[in-house]
Amino acid sequence: MTVVLVHGNPETPAVWDPLLAELRRDDVVRLAPPGFGAPVPAGFTATVDGYRDWLIAELERLDGPVDLVGHDWGGGHVVNAVLARPDLVRSWASDILGAFEPEYVWHDLAQAWQTPGVGEEHVAGMLGGPTETKAARMTAFGIPGPVAATMAAAQDETMQACVLTLYRDAAQPAMARRGESLERLAARPGLGILATEDTFVGDEAMRRRAAARAGAQVTVLDGLGHWWMCQDPARGAAALTEFWAGLPG
């Protein structure tokens, strides 16, 4: 069964490198959302629905159904794609289910990016400048040096534009509206990845409520933060492998 990994912001497929080393599988596909380590196709719009449609099209090209895993905005794309096309997956996993709860409030960085003028200045400061400086910012979040360097090299003006478009399109109540149909995710086995120190995706109660509504199991990664796949890839790989092993077929 093919495993498909989808990353988020401000990342590239390299963010999965530590996890892949622990999974020890040769049937893993990493999909890079446009603007985040991949070119932006002509006519593509970097909105919530634009990324949903991109992911659906990518999954349709694969010999599926697949086990789909999303991190950060990749986790959001996973949720939105499975809501629309559950037939494309055997299972799904996401670490940002809390963002679909009605009371979710976007974190401070997102709110800055959603503010005209402020967002342009902030994202240019974060994703602009020398590669070495950008890589140092990533390592400060606990991302290994080689992974941080690869991601930093892709953090350009295209990524900046996609960040602003995506986060502004996702300003509340946009995510809450999409979360109204979260129960439909139960059409396929799901996993809510709950890294206890992740402060970007809602509190633990929110994430557990969202998982329950989606009919999903919950795996707790105690003491890990937003980049759990880099901080303790062995534990992340074990949690995913245990989930997949319990699936029918």
Strands lying side by side in the sheet with 28-31:
28-31, 3-6, 66-70, 89-94, 190-195, 217-221
Residue 232 has a pLDDT of 97
pLDDT tens, residue order, the chain (249 aa): 899 999 999 999 999 999 999 999 999 999 999 999 999 999 999 999 999 999 999 999 999 899 999 999 999 999 999 999 999 999 999 999 999 999 999 999 999 999 999 999 999 999 999 999 999 999 998 899 999 999 999 999 999 999 999 999 999 999 999 999 999 999 999 999 999 999 999 999 999 999 999 999 999 999 999 999 999 999 999 999 999 999 987
Nearest to 207 by CA among 105, 70, 96, 82: 96
Matching residue, tokens 């557990």 = 208
Other beta carbons within 10 angstroms of residue 33's beta carbon come to 28
Question: From the DSSP assignment, how many helices (H) and strands (E) are in the chain?
Answer: 12, 6
Residue 68 has a pLDDT of 98
Q: Would you kindly state where each structural domain of the chain is located, as residue ranges?
A: 3-104+175-245
Residue 233: how many CA atoms within 13 Å on its side-chain side?
A: 14
Matching residue, tokens 């794309």 = 77
Residue 141 has a pLDDT of 87
Helix 48-61 to helix 73-84 angle (10° resolution) is 70
Phi, psi of 51 (to 5 degrees): -70, -35
Give the C-alpha separation, 139 to 154, whole Å. Answer: 15
Distances (CA, A) of 3 to 28, 64, 108: 5, 10, 32
Residue 115 has a pLDDT of 97
Residue 72 has a pLDDT of 98
3-state secondary structure (DSSP) of residue 25: coil
Give the C-alpha separation, 17 to 23, whole Å. Answer: 10
Matching residue, tokens 């593509």 = 44
Residue 28 has a pLDDT of 98
Q: Which CATH superfamily is domain 3-104+175-245 in?
A: Alpha/Beta hydrolase fold, catalytic domain (3.40.50.1820)
Give the C-alpha separation, 46 to 26, whole Å. Answer: 31
Residue 64 has a pLDDT of 82
CA of residue 155 relative to chain centroid, distance: 17
Nearest to 33 by CA among 159, 165, 201: 159
Residue 249 has a pLDDT of 72
